[in-house]
């Protein structure tokens, strides 16, 4: 089974493509997301071919912090995934529909182990400065995030919020222009483990770039992280995780290639 983060791992906005070659040598791109009638996210055409083959050969599970609505805009190459994880594990989708039993289980865990969303949201907004706070949002009534001007964001603010939130059972993650506050029991790895149980998958491969992907990567049998993103900035790695040097869309293509090679090697070993 392949469980992969989407944004800045497999798919990239125009601002995150990080193309480092001359324009004439830039790879051809395939749009995989449209928002408000405009293209928003891309993969390289080479990555599109790899992802389509990967979806045919394995159980490919998009594993994202996006809400269900945001995830619904993404159309990866290949057949539509049977399973997906949205809202950082808050929703386990089966053929596009949220599993109500799983969601109820998540809600019970959050009610038992964490400070309330209202308390954390009030702290985030109350300590943010209007000079750099652009938007504040609640996602699926599960977690909160801010959209900020990174150039004006004080260097210490995210750490101060994380130090406050940690004892209250919440994790803080900075991803691009967004600062997420997510309850610690709300994890991608728990939802992926449930899908592995349902599908009988004996091996899980994973990829991700942010602190919110760390639990997913640690729980996997093998995984990859790109050369950009929060985990790269922290120098985070583990024995079974490959830290790739590639940045941007090139990293997404390399991740897809490595995942496909791993599935092919597994097939060869079993024959």
CATH label of the domain that carries residue 252: 3.40.50.1000
Does 223 lie in the same domain as 92? yes
Among candidate residues 131, 153, 183, the one where a domain is terminated: 183
Does 94 lie in the same domain as 46? yes
Give residue 267's pLDDT: 56
* Strand partners of residue 83: 94
Distance CA 162, CA 253 (A): 32
- For residue 35, give every residue at least 6 positions away whose Cβ sits within 8 Å of its Cβ, in sequence order, or none: 73
CA of 184: how far to CAs of 99, 120, 123, 163, in Å?
21, 13, 17, 14
Is the pLDDT at 28 greater than 80, yes or no?
A: yes
* CATH at residue 129: 3.90.1070
Does 190 lie in the same domain as 65? yes
Confidence band for 22, pLDDT divided at 50, 70 and 90 = confident
Does 192 lie in the same domain as 262? yes
Is the pLDDT at 45 greater than 60, yes or no?
A: yes
Give residue 189's pLDDT: 98
Average pLDDT of every residue of the chain:
95
- For residue 30, give every residue at least 6 positions away whose Cβ sits within 8 Å of its Cβ, in sequence order, or none: 42, 43, 44, 45, 47, 48, 77
* Strand partners of residue 92: 85
Give residue 264's pLDDT: 84
Does 229 lie in the same domain as 168? no
Among candidate residues 162, 183, 204, the one where a domain is terminated: 183
Which of these, 148, 180, 218, 161, lies nearest to 67 by C-alpha position? 180
Does 252 lie in the same domain as 127? no
- Report the percentage of the chain scoring pLDDT > 90: 93
The boundaries of the domain holding residue 170 are 115-183
Does 259 lie in the same domain as 125? no
Among candidate residues 148, 167, 183, the one where a domain is terminated: 183
Confidence band for 271, pLDDT divided at 50, 70 and 90 = low
| Domain count within the chain | 2
Confidence band for 176, pLDDT divided at 50, 70 and 90 = confident
Give residue 104's pLDDT: 97
Does 135 lie in the same domain as 254? no
Does 227 lie in the same domain as 205? yes
Top-confidence residue, 20 or 30: 30
What mean pLDDT do residues 201-226 have?
97
Does 147 lie in the same domain as 121? yes
What mean pLDDT do residues 190-200 have?
97
Give residue 234's pLDDT: 94
Residue in the structure block whose two tokens are 């400065």? 129
Distance CA 149, CA 15 (A): 14
Distance CA 188, CA 48 (A): 24
Does 15 lie in the same domain as 73? yes
Does 131 lie in the same domain as 9? no
């Amino acid at each position: 089974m392949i469980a992969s983060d989407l944004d800045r791992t497999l798919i990239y906005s125009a601002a995150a493509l990080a193309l480092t070659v001359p324009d004439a040598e830039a790879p051809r791109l395939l749009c995989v997301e449209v928002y408000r009638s405009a293209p928003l996210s891309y993969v390289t055409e080479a990555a599109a071919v790899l992802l389509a083959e990967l979806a045919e050969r394995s159980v490919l599970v998009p594993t994202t912090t996006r809400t269900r609505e945001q995830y619904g805009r993404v159309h990866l190459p290949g057949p539509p995934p049977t399973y997906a994880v949205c809202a950082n594990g808050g929703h386990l989708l089966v053929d596009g529909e949220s599993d109500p039993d799983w969601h109820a289980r998540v809600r019970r865990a959050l009610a038992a182990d964490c400070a309330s969303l209202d308390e954390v949201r009030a702290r985030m907004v109350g300590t943010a400065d209007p000079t750099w706070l652009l938007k504040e949002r609640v996602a699926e009534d599960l977690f909160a995030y801010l959209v900020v001007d990174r150039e004006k964001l004080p260097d210490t603010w995210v750490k101060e919020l994380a130090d406050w939130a940690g004892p209250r059972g919440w994790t803080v993650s900075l991803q691009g222009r967004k600062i997420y506050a997510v309850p610690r029991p709300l994890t991608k790895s728990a939802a992926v483990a449930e899908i592995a149980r349902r599908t009988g998958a004996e091996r899980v491969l994973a990829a991700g770039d942010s602190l919110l992907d760390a639990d997913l990567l640690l729980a996997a049998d093998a995984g990859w992280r790109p050369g950009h993103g929060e985990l790269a900035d922290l120098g985070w790695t583990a024995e079974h995780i490959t830290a790739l040097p590639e940045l941007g869309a090139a990293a997404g293509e390399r991740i897809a290639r490595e995942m496909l090679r791993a599935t092919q090697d597994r097939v060869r070993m079993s024959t």
